[in-house]
Structure 1
Amino acid sequence: MAEALSPFVYWGQKTDQIFLKIDLRDVENEVVKLTDSGLSFNAEGFGVRGQNYYGIDIEFYHPVDPEESKYRVMGRCIEFQIKKSGDGEIWPRLTYNKVKLPWLKIDFDKVAYEDSESEKEEQENSEQADYMKQLEKELLSDRDLEPFPDVKTCYLFVYNLMQFIGFTYIFTALAYNCFKDINYAFSNTLEISGTQIMFVQVAAVLEIVHPLLGWVKSSPIPAFMQVMGRNFVLFIVVGQEPRLHEHSLLLILFMVWSGIEIVRYPFYILSLFGKKNDLITWCRYTAWIPLYPLGFLTEALIVVLAIPFYEDTEKFSVFLPNACNFSFYFPWFLKTYLGIFIPAGYYLIGTMYRQRQKALKSIKLFRTKRD
């Protein structure tokens, strides 16, 4: 399992209790371990880094009573009410070690102090209150600030933004030319957007690298199948056969590819910063339903059209005899390639279907209220 990220945690206290609020929405598969000395929490949910695996491990300043403590999972957070052990007192901090954790913040709604009957207790509470106020003052400037994104997040933001701009340009240029002169658009698709589609598809190879490096939480297999399949059709099948350059199927193919991406990349950009938009989420996990089958069908038809052309030119084919004693007939390879469309398409559609089932649970329109 990937290393857990740290969600924001807000804490407050009374003389007899500790209050914790973990800023994590739509929690699933939570694992909670509360002992007299600390708290360990791990779960899947939507937090500061989007949909991800999160966890915390806290060693308390003083012992607590797990039996008298409780927690509840709510739609937008997880709340803990933890009973202190021994005589009630105000803790100067939550953790045993005096360290400043960037994800740990004060819950200003839960900072409270109980009155005491004796002057000694009143004096002690006043001193502790002054200490807490000083601590609050130090952290006040950070109360509503998000941590500055790291280099990896900045890179992924730039990459996703550039891909979004590229595919948006392709879709807009093709749609404009269709509106202006549909016959011209069908026969000049490569002239209108060929350079741009090649650029974004070369850049898309990085989407195979990102999960391999652990920079995004996804499997590299679907990315490899989709990116390399597109690039094979674009750069090899179409790119090396001029008789396909003006075929009308290219317009449909490029419109389908860009239509998928112009809703996918905004979703990724929002997720990088822990943001979420129900409409964008719904579009990202719904647009593929008509577009994936149409894209697979269009790619397959282009390959079918290419087979007789490559039989005629014998390009990429190798015949015996030769120095390597090796033969390769490219039209047969294309026919074999067509054979993998059904299992590959089934795998990709199945993957998207499972992701859609999980993602739509977090959209208010598609889920019931959780107690």
Structure 2
Amino acid sequence: MLSFRLAYIFSYNLFQFCGHTWILANTIARYFTFGKDALADTFYSVGFVMSLCQLLSILELFHIADGIEKARLLPRFVQVMEKNILLIMLILLEEIQSKPVVCAQLFLWNILDLLRYPHELLCVMDTPSIAMLWIRYTLWIPLYILTVAIEGDINQLSRC
């Protein structure tokens, strides 16, 4: 029997997966089409969808608190708020939006989310994949370290 909670969490994860897939595909297509010129306006072309996906990620905190999703609240809270604060900073500081480091940040954020949401979708359907789990956490470690390093670069740019 399909419950409302199951349909909701499946729809949420599917929406996030589709949103991040669109952002990543748009970013890659723009780079292959325009080359390095695409780096300057990547945020302009994908910023709205990225902001929407990131704003909706706040719901994950409620999912954990309500017991719909099995995860620890504090680490997810830190991740969600860190991304949202940095995204707000990018929106407010327009001069930073055209920097190549912003394109790299968006690229890495979307790779990380595209490793996460398919796994979440499979878990919601009670068909978790060991291979997907292994890929998610094996690639997550170096990508997360790169993401944090780039976030530091963006913070340095905002101070200049």
The residue that corresponds to 2:80 in the other structure is: 227
TM-fit CA distance, 1:203: 0.4
TM-fit CA distance, 1:191: 1.8
| Amino acid across the alignment from 2:53 | V
TM-fit CA distance, 1:289: 1.7
Q: Does 1:295 align with 2:147?
A: yes
1:44-83 to structure 2, matched below 5 A, reads none
Structure 2: give runs of 5+ residues left out of the alignment.
none
Q: Does 1:159 align with 2:27?
A: no
1:17-28 to structure 2, matched below 5 A, reads none
1:104-253 to structure 2, matched below 5 A, reads 148-235=1-88, 237-253=89-105
The residue that corresponds to 1:116 in the other structure is: none
Residue 127 of structure 2 aligns to a residue whose secondary structure is coil
Would the aligned equivalents of 1:174 and 1:193 in 2 still touch at CA under 8 Å?
Answer: yes
Would the aligned equivalents of 1:167 and 1:200 in 2 still touch at CA under 8 Å?
Answer: yes
The residue that corresponds to 1:18 in the other structure is: none
TM-fit CA distance, 1:279: 2.5
Q: Distance in 2 between matches of 1:253 and 1:169?
A: 16
Would the aligned equivalents of 1:167 and 1:261 in 2 still touch at CA under 8 Å?
Answer: yes
Compare the two structures and name the one with the higher strand fraction: 1
Residue 138 of structure 2 aligns to a residue whose secondary structure is coil
TM-score by length of 2: 0.96
Would the aligned equivalents of 1:209 and 1:220 in 2 still touch at CA under 8 Å?
Answer: no
TM-fit CA distance, 1:177: 1.2
TM-fit CA distance, 1:179: 1.3
Residue 200 of structure 1 aligns to a residue whose secondary structure is helix
Cα RMSD after superposing both structures? 1.0
TM-fit CA distance, 1:303: 0.6
TM-fit CA distance, 1:149: 2.2
Q: Distance in 1 between matches of 2:71 and 2:86?
A: 24
Structure 1 runs of 4+ off > 3 angstroms? Answer: none
Identity %: 28
Q: Distance in 2 between matches of 1:243 and 1:167?
A: 24
Q: Does 1:268 align with 2:116?
A: no
Residue 264 of structure 1 aligns to a residue whose secondary structure is helix
Task: Report which of the two structures shows the higher radius of gyration computed on alpha carbons.
Answer: 1
Compare the two structures and name the one with the higher helix fraction: 2
TM-fit CA distance, 1:184: 2.0
TM-fit CA distance, 1:266: 0.9
TM-fit CA distance, 1:204: 0.4
TM-fit CA distance, 1:278: 2.8
Q: Distance in 1 between matches of 2:85 and 2:65?
A: 21
Q: Distance in 1 between matches of 2:91 and 2:122?
A: 35
Q: Distance in 2 between matches of 1:170 and 1:188?
A: 13
| Amino acid across the alignment from 1:247 | K
Q: Distance in 2 between matches of 1:307 and 1:228?
A: 20
Q: Identify the structure with bigger relative contact order (alpha carbons < 8 Å, sequence gap 6+).
A: 2
Work out which of the residue numbers 95, 107, 131 in structure 2 matches 1:279.
Answer: 131
Q: Distance in 1 between matches of 2:33 and 2:135?
A: 27
The residue that corresponds to 2:156 in the other structure is: 304
Residue 274 of structure 1 aligns to a residue whose secondary structure is coil
Q: Distance in 1 between matches of 2:147 and 2:108?
A: 6
Q: Distance in 1 between matches of 2:47 and 2:66?
A: 30
> What is the aligned length?
160
